[in-house]
Amino acid sequence: MHRILPLGFTAVLSASLLAQSTIPTGYGKKEGATSRHVPLAYNSSRIQLGYDASATGWKAPKTIKELWVRADKSGYLTTGFSVEMQVLISSKGCNPATPSMIFANNQGTDVKVFMKRKTFKFAPLAKAPAAPAKWTIQLKGDSPFLAATANLVIDWATYARSNQFNPNLFLDAATITAKATGTRGSSLNYGKPCNPTTFYNYATGLDVDSLLRQYCFTQNAGDIVLTWAGASPINVSFPGLKGCSLYTAPVVFHPNIALTRERTGYANFEWGRVISRLRGKKVWLQSGAVDSTFSTMRLSRGNEVQFGNYKVHYPMVISHKYDYGSGPTTFNPDKDEARFGWVDTAIIFDVR
């Protein structure tokens, strides 16, 4: 026996289904291949997620009223907790590859606080009997967001008075594979750091169109850090500092100076995108730091960077950048930068 739904009910049901749009597209009824522990397993935290037009699959403009997420197939929660959360969204001019560790640099010109900071209470959660789990976590906008383009960047932050750890609360996420072409850029470390000898640095983003970035770990909180680039390697003892050497004569100093906020002395510098004429060329990098009392100076080892043209071709662009507080390490979602993240992975959202 066939039943025919009343016309009015059919229209309402169709509108409800059409209002949903899973990003990345194609994961409405399919479990993602990975999971993300930020932002709900670690609080305070912040994760920024990017999706290009191929990943959203919609035609702009699009009105977004709610975002829903679901637990990963292995996700569960034994003890409930409360945490404050806030969500920002942008579309126009945003960068779905989220190349920068500075959250604001990846946002669009229309960035908006989609969901104001408010308290959420999470009850204990059992493993889902089947994958994928149901959409159970709702991030409802205080007002609708109008996506001007088919690209989207979502910033999701949690705030806690002290660091919280909620083990096994993983969210379902997608990861995609790609094809690669070209030759990889390379980085060779040389020399020895001083004050301490564990002060090290390294470079990433060594290929054309990549964002050249230099990371430093001075092993001391409160250090003032700067970094520079040179056109050739040298090895000159630094006057008055035993065991310290200048490994590249500065040609250009990075315009920003960093202040380390934790005992690892972490600092990150973004030099900009690698242009095509640098392919096959070399540059030499080094970093230096001084403590807050200006009594101790530290120097890193040298980095010899050779640029390549390695490129990864994705069927769609999804990405994420994140950081979180854990143990003695604090994190301020509104002020601090990201430290982790990459292209090819993002949380799965149901957009309504």
Q: Which amino acid is at 143?
A: S
Reported as type and span, the H/E element at residue 12 is helix 7-18
Kindly give the confidence (pLDDT) of every residue in the chain, 352 residues in length, as a single tens digit, with 9 standing for 90 and above: 322 333 333 333 333 444 579 999 999 999 999 999 999 999 999 999 999 999 999 999 999 999 999 999 999 999 999 999 999 999 999 999 999 999 999 999 999 999 999 999 999 999 999 999 999 999 999 999 999 999 999 999 999 989 999 999 999 999 999 999 999 999 999 999 999 999 999 999 999 999 999 999 999 999 999 999 999 999 999 888 889 999 999 999 999 999 998 899 999 999 999 999 999 999 999 999 999 999 999 999 999 999 999 999 999 999 999 999 998 888 999 999 999 999 999 999 999 9
Pick the CATH number of 181-311 from 2.30.29, 1.10.10, 2.40.160, 2.60.40: 2.60.40
Reported as type and span, the H/E element at residue 284 is strand 282-290
d(CA 119, CA 135): 19
For the record, the structure tokens of 198 come out as 């564990």
Domain boundaries, the chain: 19-177+315-351, 181-311
Token look-up 């205080």 returns 142
Token look-up 């040609």 returns 251
Token look-up 């020895």 returns 192
Distance of CA 97 to the CA centre of its chain: 9
d(CA 92, CA 109): 6
